[in-house]
Chains A and B, each alone.
Chain A
Amino acid sequence: MDILKELDVIEKDGLAALAAAEDEDALAAWRTAHLGRKSGLMAAFDGMKDLSKEERPQVGRRANEVKQALEGALEKKLVAVRQATLEASLAGEHLDVSLPGRALPLGRLHPVNQTLRRIYAIFAEMGFQVYRSREVESDDYNFTFLNIPAHHPARDMWDTFHTDREGVILRTHTSPGQIHAMREYCPENIRVILPGMVYRYEQVTTRSEMQFNQVEGLAVGPNITFGDLKGTLTDFARRLFNPDVRTRFRASHFPFTEPSAEMDVECFVCMGDGCSVCKGTGWLEILGSGMVHPTVLRYGGYDPEKVSGFAFGMGPERITMLLHRITDIRHFWRNDVRFLEQF
């Protein structure tokens, strides 16, 4: 039958033409030519109505075979052509990956406030909340109520900024907040930390400032011991510095605590071997602490026969300096962007 031979030719020609098509446009044209309404294959389908009843199934089957073969081949070719196109385009696209990125302005908190936040967070989890009080204080709150009566060494002019108003000074520590907190909360138990700016009559040098932050802590209640002080502050040091850091408590003296202690932590630069940061001692002095003096408890409204408490104080600037090897405290209030941008 001629028609079957014709279909063989249609198939053969179609596949040959497909092999020659190289891009998606050519494939679209090929589809029109070989599978479209006006293609030889469609003409063969159309011509089937003129065939005899016997011939019709045989030709029909063959025509469908050819159609499937051509369509299948087209599908495969299409995938191959797309793949080749993609590969060709990828091969031509190269960035200099070493060029710098497009910067967005990055905002930051002041380094001391970053340190303060870490301190707040650690103490918050131990139940200590932030309590703030004024910076310009009466000397009663700054001294007398803290067991520093007149003519105590800490009252000497060398330490304190006096204002033009009688009995008004710039607080030399955040400890007046201890009295404010006790008077506000008495007779409740107390766990607060007292952050804020304090002022000292001191020459500004690489190591001392006339204005700096302090964070004090105060716990008052019926069952608070020196052992609790050691445990709480050691927990704090382990969280701020590292989980294995060792601490030691040395006897010291502050008028508002008794007994008083300095807490040293093992130097985290040399791990206690001795280096320039710890001046060869292996220890860093981090905070002062002690059991709240009975006189201070009394001024706060508490009976030292019934309750006890501990207090501590540290310098967030000093801690920031130790953590980042900052050698000049004046950087903090100078606010040079070359310093600030490093945090």
Chain B
Amino acid sequence: MKVPVSWLKDYVDLDGISIEELAHRLTMAGLESEEITFVGLPLPPGDKHDFKVNGIAWDREKIVVAEVLEVNPHPNADRLTLCRLNDGEREHTVLTGAPNLFPYKGQGPLDPPLKVAYAKEGTTLYDGHAEGWQLMTLKKAVIRGVESYSMVCSEKELGISEEHEGIMLLPEDAPTGMPLADYMGDAVLDIAITPNIARNANILGVAREIAALFGRELQQPSYDFTAEGAPVAGQFGIKIENPELNPRFVGGLIRDIEIRPSPDWVQRRLRLAGQRPINNIVDVTNYVMLDIGQPLHAFDYDELVRRAGGKTPTLITRMAKKGEKLTTLDGETHALEDFTVLVADTKGSHSIAGIMGGADTEVTDKTTNVLLEGANWNFINIRKTLGYLKMNSEASYRFSRGVHPAMASRGVGRGLELMRQWAGGTICKGLVDEYPLPYEDPTTELTPEDVRRWLGIDLKPKDIAAILARLDFKTSIKGKVISATAPDHRVDISDDPVIGKADLLEEIARIYGYDNIPETRLADVLPPQRNNAALEFEERVRDLLARQGLQEIVTYRLTSPEREAKRLPPGVAPDPKPYITLKNPITPDRFAMRKSMLASMLEILERNARLRERLAFFEIGFVYHDSEAGPLPDEKPRLVIAITGRRDLPAWQGGAEENLDYYDLKGIVEGLLGGLHLNAVRYEPSQHPSFHPGKQARLLAGERQIGTIGELHPAVHGQHDLGPAPVLAATFALDALMEAAPPRHEVQEVPAFPPVLEDLAFILDETIPAGQVQALIEQTGGATLAGVRLFDVYRGEQLGAGKKSLAYALTYQAEDRTLTDDEVAKLRKKIVGRLERELGATLRA
């Protein structure tokens, strides 16, 4: 909200408070002053500010109030005039093309003279004729044969508004020669209003905060009006059909007004506050809304009478019928929901309550009698209505955040009086006030103990009461208990005694100052301490994989079924279980919660495919599966690993240029499982559709599948923009992996006696898996065979077709002695014999 400092001064004395101090204190108290536009007042020194600085300062020496004594024609240009002007020191001749001086051209000396803002040579101002806000410096120039070195300023040149058609005219009593900055220099604070302080979305509200924060007196505005007309009663009626949604409706009447522009100072004020002046009557409604926060609506009274067939008009607030159509001031036609409240008369509806008026009864240039409405609406209902209408207005902004019903009569009173002042006319006596659902201002009790318990500060009852009184709470103290009744301009204090207490504690903390609350360390009893086993396991897996040279990635969990289908070869139908999808996706390609981590991984491999000759990634995350238990999906933790490209990093010394293959990935997986001390995992051929049918395995811990490992199916590979090297990938159900991993492991004693090492090679049928051979050797060797490592696989002509040779390095080891040759020979014989018998192996000489 834009808050001109000059307007604040109507309600609170700001003497001795700098703009920076003001902005800082407001920001710390929750009225964040994000931006300050300086309109004449000096800019704060230095570059470091809590807020963004805009605008310009007016040089006190070079921009002053001056009087135009006479407006003379320019000898060589019809559209320019020469002003004889006194700046308080001497006379100057000033060249201008301002159209609002033309009426004075050639009229001789002016009485009274026109007061203007006069800028001298060397002044920096905004360029009134450039687009946007360009700075320029006044220089001596000769324009059409007349020397010019100074100027009279428009509002735009001074940074007040975008008005640049004519020059700015000042009131007659503006003191000639006074620096303009002293006369009317200003600054506009742009304050962010959070929902809890919606009551401050007006000048009076901000002024009240300032008064409370700086301990100054708040000057209350007057809500009285001078009524000299006939009593208002009987001139119109008000009928409220649903008091829950329309607790109060106030109307006043002013007759014989004249529609014209508002006074200059009003227009300037409105523009500074970001509101476009329209005419004096509409300006009053906007002014009062900005001033005290009560939105108003002005009706053409005669039009209401005409619609009532010449009888006494009645304003009716009622619920819309579902589908009812209404055209608002902006020309839009809306289909309404049945919870929306309308303002209507006997002829029909004309506004959407609290949001926007209708064209039929609005004030026009010909209006002479005005019915002024100040109403109160249920803010939740306004918000619901805004939700489907997708519209916004200054009035609905305030009504949708809650306005106190007490403000309705105040707004109408203040509005009528301002209309009388700015538009003439006579106010009818009294107000028509329907208030079927009076608001009860809650009274909340609290004690110094509450303050200590919640905020950690010790305050005396009278200090607490004093803080609340600064915000207009009515307080009383009985012993240690402070009773505080909320003031009748705010609706944010709960009538629940406990929540109301928290509401008051917030106010006490804000006004006391967060800075003044001491920092303490938690002294409360430490709760039971717990591990987070799932997270700790994840972190172990992360470390084990990073240690093996893999880069962790984190990807989008939103995807599309099409994107995920690319992980399967053409013709393979994806699992038919439904995705969790979004009603309102932000991009069309990400509207479903993923079911596959492999698909996410392939996306990232594609992105990096051309960047490195070797890629090795892993991700730990969730997949989201429809659950039978209810509408919330199962969120399953998953691990995916993928590697592709050259086995060795490219280096100047050469190195193998072979590609990574299944066994590289298996080595990483074995490293991971070994690090988790999960040793009894079996690899069995499997049929995962994403992988090459002959180059994949499922991993079993006991009978439970914990993961799958393989080379990406060539058809899947082909569906992605990847390099030629095969992609090796593994996926794990992280929860299953965690359950399979032993919680602790025991170490083997380091042998005290030397081992006996021996290599044995066997010739076997090609079809016999190495895993089976290894298992049989280990089983036969028993405890004395401490290690079996496959070190060579060989196929060749001399072995014969369908045969292979597997060579193993065996380590024989006894705990308590050095093994003898005899013992080793016996064991060797047993192993060889078993392999011969059970696998048809022959020992290779």
Contact with A along B749-790 (1 / 0, CB 8 A): 000000000000000000000000000000000000000000
Contacts of B523 in A (CB 8 A): 223, 228
Q: Which residue of B lies closest to A133 (CB)?
A: B635
Contacts of A138 in B (CB 8 A): 631-632
Contacts of B611 in A (CB 8 A): 336-338
> Could you give 6 example pairs across A and B, Cβ below 8 Å?
A221-B525, A226-B456, A253-B197, A293-B499, A308-B454, A337-B615
Contact with A along B42-58 (1 / 0, CB 8 A): 00000111111000000
Contact with A along B24-52 (1 / 0, CB 8 A): 00011110100000000000000111111
Known contacts: A259-B505, A280-B48, A337-B551. The answer to whether A294 contacts B607 by CB under 8 A is no
Q: Which residue of A lies closest to B50 (CB)?
A: A281
**Are A135 and B622 closer than 8 Å at their CB atoms?**
yes
Q: Which residue of B lies closest to A230 (CB)?
A: B519
Q: How many A-B residue pairs have CB under 8 A?
A: 275
List A residues 229-266 near B (Cβ within 8 Å).
230-232, 234-235, 248-253, 255, 258-261
B137 within 8 A of A: no
**Are A188 and B527 closer than 8 Å at their CB atoms?**
yes
Q: How long is the Cα–Cα vector from A336 to B529 in the complex, in angstroms?
A: 39
**Are B453 and A107 closer than 8 Å at their CB atoms?**
no
| Stretch in B471-479, B510-518, B819-827 with 4+ CB within 8 Å of A | B510-518
Contacts of A99 in B (CB 8 A): 652
Contacts of A223 in B (CB 8 A): 453, 523-524
Contact of A203 (CB < 8 Å), options: B520, B539, B586, B624: B586
Chain B nearest Cβ from A220, distance in angstroms: 8
Contact of B510 (CB < 8 Å), options: A156, A251, A273, A308: A251
| Stretch in A27-35, A41-49, A159-167 with 4+ CB within 8 Å of B | A159-167
Contact of B542 (CB < 8 Å), options: A109, A127, A199: A109
**Are B531 and A129 closer than 8 Å at their CB atoms?**
yes
List B residues 550-571 near A (Cβ within 8 Å).
550-558
Chain B nearest Cβ from A201, distance in angstroms: 6
Known contacts: A137-B632, A227-B518, A337-B608. The answer to whether A110 contacts B552 by CB under 8 A is yes
Known contacts: A113-B554, A250-B32. The answer to whether A163 contacts B581 by CB under 8 A is yes
Contact of B530 (CB < 8 Å), options: A129, A137, A168, A282: A129
**Are A259 and B506 closer than 8 Å at their CB atoms?**
yes
Chain B nearest Cβ from A229, distance in angstroms: 9
Contacts of A53 in B (CB 8 A): none
Closest 7 A/B residue pairs (Cβ): A227-B456, A225-B456, A251-B30, A105-B549, A107-B546, A274-B48, A253-B194
Chain A nearest Cβ from B118, distance in angstroms: 34
**Are A161 and B556 closer than 8 Å at their CB atoms?**
no
Contact of A201 (CB < 8 Å), options: B539, B584, B633: B584
Q: How long is the Cα–Cα vector from A142 to B338 in the complex, in angstroms?
A: 28
B729 within 8 A of A: no
**Are A228 and B522 closer than 8 Å at their CB atoms?**
yes
Q: How long is the Cα–Cα vector from A211 to B557 in the complex, in angstroms?
A: 8
Q: Which of A104, A156, A291 has the most CB of B within 10 A?
A: A291
Contacts of A56 in B (CB 8 A): none
Q: How long is the Cα–Cα vector from A103 to B653 in the complex, in angstroms?
A: 11
Q: How long is the Cα–Cα vector from A231 to B499 in the complex, in angstroms?
A: 25
**Are B520 and A228 closer than 8 Å at their CB atoms?**
yes
Chain B nearest Cβ from A125, distance in angstroms: 12
A328 within 8 A of B: no
**Are B551 and A107 closer than 8 Å at their CB atoms?**
yes
Q: Which residue of B lies closest to A261 (CB)?
A: B514
Contact of B27 (CB < 8 Å), options: A219, A250, A336, A340: A250
**Are B534 and A132 closer than 8 Å at their CB atoms?**
yes
B545 within 8 A of A: yes
Contacts of B510 in A (CB 8 A): 251, 259
List B residues 241-260 near A (Cβ within 8 Å).
none
Q: Which residue of B lies closest to A279 (CB)?
A: B52
**Are A104 and B554 closer than 8 Å at their CB atoms?**
no
Contacts of A105 in B (CB 8 A): 549-550, 614, 616, 649
Q: Which residue of B lies closest to A213 (CB)?
A: B554
List A residues 111-145 near B (Cβ within 8 Å).
112-113, 117, 126-127, 129-132, 134-138
Q: How long is the Cα–Cα vector from A137 to B524 in the complex, in angstroms?
A: 31
**Are A226 and B454 closer than 8 Å at their CB atoms?**
yes
Taking beta carbons and an 8 Å cutoff, which residues of A are in contact with B?
99-100, 102-110, 112-113, 117, 126-127, 129-132, 134-138, 150-153, 156-157, 161-168, 170, 185, 188-191, 197, 199, 201-204, 210-211, 219, 221-228, 230-232, 234-235, 248-253, 255, 258-261, 272-274, 279-283, 291, 293-295, 304-305, 308, 332-338, 340-341
Contacts of B49 in A (CB 8 A): 274, 280-281
Q: How long is the Cα–Cα vector from A281 to B651 in the complex, in angstroms?
A: 48
B580 within 8 A of A: yes
Contact of A132 (CB < 8 Å), options: B520, B532, B633: B532
Contact of A253 (CB < 8 Å), options: B30, B549, B580: B30
Q: How long is the Cα–Cα vector from A304 to B496 in the complex, in angstroms?
A: 12
**Are A107 and B525 closer than 8 Å at their CB atoms?**
no
**Are B387 and A151 closer than 8 Å at their CB atoms?**
yes
Contacts of A234 in B (CB 8 A): 519
Contacts of B329 in A (CB 8 A): none
Q: How long is the Cα–Cα vector from A176 to B779 in the complex, in angstroms?
A: 53
**Are A294 and B502 closer than 8 Å at their CB atoms?**
yes
Contacts of A152 in B (CB 8 A): 195
Contacts of A281 in B (CB 8 A): 48-51
Q: How long is the Cα–Cα vector from A168 to B515 in the complex, in angstroms?
A: 41
Known: A107-B547, A166-B631, A201-B586. 16 other contacts (CB 8 A): A105-B550, A127-B529, A129-B531, A136-B635, A165-B631, A170-B593, A224-B522, A225-B453, A228-B521, A231-B519, A234-B519, A248-B28, A251-B514, A259-B455, A280-B52, A308-B454
Known contacts: A274-B48, A332-B554. The answer to whether A106 contacts B502 by CB under 8 A is no
Contact of B608 (CB < 8 Å), options: A202, A224, A336: A336
Contacts of B677 in A (CB 8 A): none
B326 within 8 A of A: no
**Are B525 and A335 closer than 8 Å at their CB atoms?**
no
B384 within 8 A of A: yes
Q: How long is the Cα–Cα vector from A253 to B496 in the complex, in angstroms?
A: 19
Contact with A along B606-618 (1 / 0, CB 8 A): 0110011011110
B226 within 8 A of A: no
Contact with A along B485-520 (1 / 0, CB 8 A): 000000000001011011101100110001101111
List B residues 577-619 near A (Cβ within 8 Å).
580-587, 590, 593, 604, 607-608, 611-612, 614-617
Q: How long is the Cα–Cα vector from A248 to B556 in the complex, in angstroms?
A: 35
**Are A185 and B553 closer than 8 Å at their CB atoms?**
no
Chain A nearest Cβ from B398, distance in angstroms: 14
Q: How long is the Cα–Cα vector from A58 to B584 in the complex, in angstroms?
A: 117
Q: How long is the Cα–Cα vector from A132 to B622 in the complex, in angstroms?
A: 13
**Are A224 and B380 closer than 8 Å at their CB atoms?**
no
Q: Which residue of A lies closest to B550 (CB)?
A: A107
**Are A259 and B509 closer than 8 Å at their CB atoms?**
yes
**Are B48 and A282 closer than 8 Å at their CB atoms?**
yes
**Are A130 and B608 closer than 8 Å at their CB atoms?**
no
**Are B631 and A304 closer than 8 Å at their CB atoms?**
no
Contacts of A295 in B (CB 8 A): 499
**Are A151 and B557 closer than 8 Å at their CB atoms?**
no
**Are B456 and A228 closer than 8 Å at their CB atoms?**
yes
B801 within 8 A of A: no
